[in-house]
Structure 1
Amino acid sequence: MEFTSNAEIDSFVIGDNTIELIGYVDGIDGSKQILFIERGLIQNVNMTFFKKEENVVPIEVCCWRNTTIKILGRYEELGTIEPQSTINTCIKNCAKEIGKIIRLQGYIRVEFTLVPMGHSSYGNGAIVDDVYRLRVHIVDFKDDPTLKSGVHVECVGEIKKDKNDGIFLQLENMSKIEIIDELVLSTDNLRWGIIPPETRNLDDDEKNKAKRSRIQKNLDDSGINFSRVDLDEDVTWDSE
């Protein structure tokens, strides 16, 4: 199956109602149907919902009364994309792997729920490991009652940045998050996970050393016993 090329999409003109487009649906409830759109109308995208970091073009294809749509099959069945190698890492260091497929473990701190976004939706939650915390987005989300707060999971997905340079892990679907054992982290220990992945070595300069000291002080003042936490060392968790 040959999709419409990037070069042709870049040549679309606003107002043209004769375009032809072959591609698969990736952003509406995770559908992977390949569509052939004939006589679609090109319009400017609503910039309220446009996010450059999602690697999409700032135009949209609209279907009107003369448009025809044919479903050509499911994208996964074609096997057109070679699997990428997976990098084993941890939440603390995952920001070094932007744009790469990684595998890491953590405990669910924020349970996954469906989040509407424009005309589509995605799953959203967060996992923690030691004092580090990572947002997780799931493109094709289905509710799973076993993914409760504190559960120990392994995730495989792509590390990305949002428009504010925040780091998050994007999973294709629910098969990319798996419960790996019966360990369940206590609520108190889950509260330790507050620091985002490191985008650089925090000991590079005095400014970052001061930031590290402020984090430690805030932990000590939080009302939970954080006295044993050294942000330069790994923390051994106590599980329920």
Structure 2
Amino acid sequence: MALPDLSKRLLYRDGLLLVIDKPAGIAVHAGPSGGLSLEAGFDALRFGLPRPPALAHRLDRDTSGCLALGRHPKALRKLAALFREGRVEKVYWALVMGAPPEPEGQLDRALEKMSSREVGWRMRPADKGGLQASTRWRTLGSGGGLSWLELRPLTGRTHQIRVHCAALGCPILGDPVYATTRPPAGLRLHLRARSLRLPLYRSKEPVAVTAPLPDDMAATLAARGFPLNQ
């Protein structure tokens, strides 16, 4: 996969903040072994400033949608405080297999990291200890063996939404790690960082940004008659 022109994926821009539409399948930063990452394309997002922007938070490699960047160190400190204090409203949309036990609710389930030679590392619900994690869900539609969920993570743990959906008995469509069966080749993770709402300025309304649906997710929703104007 080639790195896209991130300037064409810009959803919001002001003096402190950029929000881009992160594509699926690209890590936000290079791992220990290197490889393609979004950070390699941040120089195209300087827009006249002396240095490129930097990540204010992170999304999984396979998750797409709203990703916030701070344009300079002062902006990054302000954004980091908002995310750390839980003041950023994050909304995700997911297509899941099956349905949660109730149309809406909140799952409070600690998570821990595990690793093995066979499968590498992943996150799992922790019976004791672990990092506290909470996710609210609401069902927006259901049919054909799938459910369309709105998910609001109240904490920001690695793979939180993916693990919590699997723990609810409805893993995300296309999840190669947490689904009970491996998805068909070419079926990507149907998880979208749909919107961000950031109270960035004291005397202004919060900055609200929404990412449009990618074609494959929109097609799956439309095929089941789910209304997309929510």
TM-score range, shorter chain: under 0.3
**TM-score normalized by the length of structure 1:** 0.23
Instruction: Compare CA radii of gyration and give the structure with the larger one.
Output: 1
**TM-score normalized by the length of structure 2:** 0.24
More strand by share: 1
